[in-house]
Structure 1
Amino acid sequence: MSLFDDVLADLTAEGDQLRAAVAPLDEAAWTTPVPAEGWRIATTIAHLLWTDEVAALAASAHTPEGKEAWDEVVLLAIADPAGFVDQEAFRVAELPPAELLARWDAARAALAGALRTVPDGQKMPWFGPPMSPTSMVTARFMETWAHALDVFDALGERPAVTDRIKQVAHLGVRTRNFAFANNGLEPPAEEFRVELTAPGGEVWAWGPDDAAQSVRGTASDFCELVTQRVHRDDTDLVAVGEDAQTWLTIAQAFAGPAGGGREVRA
């Protein structure tokens, strides 16, 4: 299979795991608060399905009809860049749970199909820089995985952690310079060495062996950190070097403003 197919298979599996967790919930349970302030389980699923729908529109923007639909979304986003995405999540979350699930199922299938129609070598538009289909699937995996953590947290559970999180780890490493710039800091000139122990025991590595600065630890802790689902002090990550230490306090693999992160666990 191609890299795109591999990443898409990971996204499908991660979505299936989350769907299996929420499908049996009664209507009251869908209103359970998640760690994101003001959000509930229904809000979280609504956000994922809506962003899957919008990503499918972006993947179809190479056609006249698709471009028109995508442009409509962009105009709405321009009118309220700070609140547009959250407003849509709250709006869609008003649907009954069965409708939320059915719409999310349709959105996931539509996204997979639309991404396969993007012409070879062409990037699709997005709210940030244009993205390749593979990059879009990686970003959707990261968001699905991170929001699933919120849902499982709300349910008092922990999801099965698999080597699929390499998608998040890779994105977290690649967004190092973005995290610095997004916090008004000059990105380090030199690469770091990043070594992470995967759930399956393999060691994933990025950067030169002889880098002066490094980050080491478990991949799961690193992935939770770069998606701001855990406080730095609650991880096993070890940083060598001042810039590497700073990175672990500001890391973010997602676009947009720097988040507030999480409090230290009691």
Structure 2
Amino acid sequence: MALDYVGLLDDVDVETVRLILVLRDLTPDQWENDTPANGWGVRDQVSHLAFFDDAARTAIEDPDRFREESAALIAGGMDFPDRIARDLRTMSHRDLEEWFIHSRTELLKTLRRTDPKARMPWYGPDMSVASSATARLMETWAHGRDIYDALGVRHAPSPGLRSIAHLGVSTFAFAHQLNGLPVPDPPVRVVLQSPLPDANEWTWGSADAENSVVGPAEDFVLVVTQRRNVADTRLVVTGPVAQTWMGIAQAFAGAPGSGRPSLAAPSTTGETR
């Protein structure tokens, strides 16, 4: 998949504007609404995005400072996203909204003037700036989805879905390693139907692979961002390698996620982001 960096940043901007328009109409009570993420309200989703936007900008502009600050966070345990959310719950909803708008605006300015191939540190292996931009798109889509679900608002098909799906495919090995599993040799064919007008079918992997994941692109992205259990999607998963992958798929950094239980079964697991 060839990189269109300008287009990628435009996709981040689209998803950002859509989310801001929803946030601006919220009542104070709605900011406290529970989201599908266990223990997190709408305010926590927004503070999470703002905090890690600032962290990404620091990682690009002052990598030594980022390494020092991230090491301190990780030293306190890999539950640091939950700790950050708790620490920020005293902020007013208006301050949260303004913080997110400012942090995202400044991050996009930084991303637009930075070489997409440049390397930067993160919470785990270093990555390219382009990969960081894709991760911010994915995070905005995923945490935005939690907000939309909490409010009963439709999440319009995103022009960035293909980039997020590509990230989900690219983290195949990462998801296995994160869960202490050997990376399988057999390839997995991924065939996704785009919800976007005039978009072609999106495919990855060998056409003759015995393992495959086929279905709507949005369903695939919901699974790899751990916003849906694969059992609650229209994905057709064929083969043991594909089935294992869809149970552990994770397109975001951090500790291995437990995912979300199927809506058809009682909830017995916590939410991991």
TM-score (ref. length: structure 1): 0.91
Give, in angstroms, the shift of residue 194 of structure 1: 0.7
Give, in angstroms, the shift of residue 165 of structure 1: 0.9
Superposition map of 1:41-190 within 5 A: 41-60=42-61, 66-118=62-114, 121-190=117-186
Whichever residue aligns with residue 16 of structure 1, its letter is V
Give, in angstroms, the shift of residue 11 of structure 1: 0.7
Structure 1 Cα separation of the partners of residues 63 and 162 of structure 2: 32
* Equivalent position SS for 2:119: coil
Structure 2 Cα separation of the partners of residues 244 and 9 of structure 1: 32
Give, in angstroms, the shift of residue 94 of structure 1: 2.0
Give, in angstroms, the shift of residue 238 of structure 1: 1.1
Aligned residues: CA RMSD: 1.8
Please list the CA deviations of residues 39-88 of structure 1 after superposition, one character each: whole Å capped at 9, or x if unmatched. Answer: 1000110000000001000010xxxxx24532441242243132333222
Give, in angstroms, the shift of residue 225 of structure 1: 0.6
Structure 2 Cα separation of the partners of residues 244 and 84 of structure 1: 30
* Equivalent position SS for 1:253: coil
Structure 2 Cα separation of the partners of residues 96 and 53 of structure 1: 18
Q: Is the 8 A contact 1:163 1:198 kept in 2?
A: no
Select the residue among 257, 260, 263 that pairs with 1:262: 260
Q: Is the 8 A contact 2:116 2:129 kept in 1?
A: no
Structure 2 Cα separation of the partners of residues 261 and 29 of structure 1: 25
Greater CA deviation, 229-238 or 77-86? 77-86
Select the residue among 172, 195, 199 that pairs with 2:195: 199
Task: List gaps (5 residues or longer) in structure 2.
Answer: 265-273
Structure 1 Cα separation of the partners of residues 63 and 256 of structure 2: 30
Select the residue among 215, 221, 245 that pairs with 1:223: 221
Whichever residue aligns with residue 124 of structure 2, its letter is G
Structure 1 Cα separation of the partners of residues 250 and 113 of structure 2: 30
Please list the CA deviations of residues 191-229 of structure 1 after superposition, one character each: whole Å capped at 9, or x if unmatched. Answer: 211100000252100112222221111101000011111
Number of residue pairs matched? 260
Give, in angstroms, the shift of residue 181 of structure 1: 2.0
Greater CA deviation, 117-126 or 46-55? 117-126
Please list the CA deviations of residues 156-177 of structure 1 after superposition, one character each: whole Å capped at 9, or x if unmatched. Answer: 2221113421111101111111
Task: List gaps (5 residues or longer) in structure 1.
Answer: 61-65
Please list the CA deviations of residues 106-134 of structure 1 after superposition, one character each: whole Å capped at 9, or x if unmatched. Answer: 10121122234545743011111111111
TM-score (ref. length: structure 2): 0.89
